[in-house]
Amino acid sequence: MIVSCPRCTQAVTASRTRPEALLVCGSCDHRFYGFDCHHQAENFVIYDLETTGLDPLGEEIIQIAAMRFTAGRLRPAETYSSFAKPRKPISAFIQQYTGITNRHVAGAPRPEAVLLEFAEWSGDATLIAHNGLRFDSKFLQATCEQHGMPMRAVGGIDSIHISKMLYGNAPGTGHALDRLVERLAIDIAGVARHDARGDVEILGYAVARMWTHLSLDAAFNGVRRHEVLLPRSGALGGLIQ
């Protein structure tokens, strides 16, 4: 199977039996996923969640923050953020880890209401999150399912895959957000880590710099994607308890 490199348009041979494989262009050395080379939309939302724990089936969202990335440019003025009030107290560990206390969320809407608001704000944009495939997208889907909210699908990109395209995946490479901060020389002075607002700002600059280093187009062609489920507009018709 022949695909075109998103950077130089050189023909590259891809495996029909392993379409998910990361390819390397023999002409320009660009790394890309051949099965994700036919996108046109240029609207993206970089987002981050904070939660009461790691299990999407037993824990809840306590904060969502997001920033737009449109036509190849980060939009720091176009942001979304909200706390969410879980149905159980935030543990001492999570309060210390995130800086988000029970007092911060006391007057906030429930997680499902915040998620619906975020979904309406983000629209049909492709969502980008760090470790989004294994963590964030699972919380979005679980929140919808637990509250009987009709869902719709949008595209998703895990920024870990962008990091792997740029830095490779050799043992010990590491693709945590803190490693990206080091590699990309991002100044995080005054930015609150593990607060969704701070993390999404850091991730936004990391994505923008990796996008430039990889010479990606405005539609992120060649970057691996997955499906993200969000609530449909008007999904919460009744009273939220």
The string of pLDDT tens digits covering residues 101-150 is 999 999 999 999 999 999 999 999 999 999 999 999 999 999 999 999 99
Length of the chain: 241
The string of pLDDT tens digits covering residues 172-216 is 899 999 999 999 999 999 898 889 999 999 999 999 999 999 999
DSSP state of 91: P
61-70/43-51 β-pairing: antiparallel
CA–CA dist 179, 176 (Å, integer): 5
User: Does pLDDT of 241 surpass 70?
Assistant: no
Identity of the residue numbered 65: A
Q: To the nearest whole number, what is the mean pLDDT of the chain? A: 94
3-state SS, residue 13: strand
User: Does pLDDT of 15 surpass 90?
Assistant: no
pLDDT-based confidence at residue 238 (cuts at 50, 70, 90) = low
CA–CA dist 235, 198 (Å, integer): 29
- pLDDT at residue 239 in the model: 42
- pLDDT at residue 192 in the model: 86
- pLDDT at residue 1 in the model: 85
Q: Looking at domain 41-231, what is its CATH homologous superfamily?
A: Ribonuclease H-like superfamily/Ribonuclease H (3.30.420.10)
- pLDDT at residue 237 in the model: 67
- pLDDT at residue 181 in the model: 96
Identity of the residue numbered 40: Q
Of residues 35 and 92, more confidence is placed in 92
Name 43's bridge partners: 70
Domain boundaries, the chain: 1-38, 41-231
Q: What percent of the chain has pLDDT over 70?
A: 98
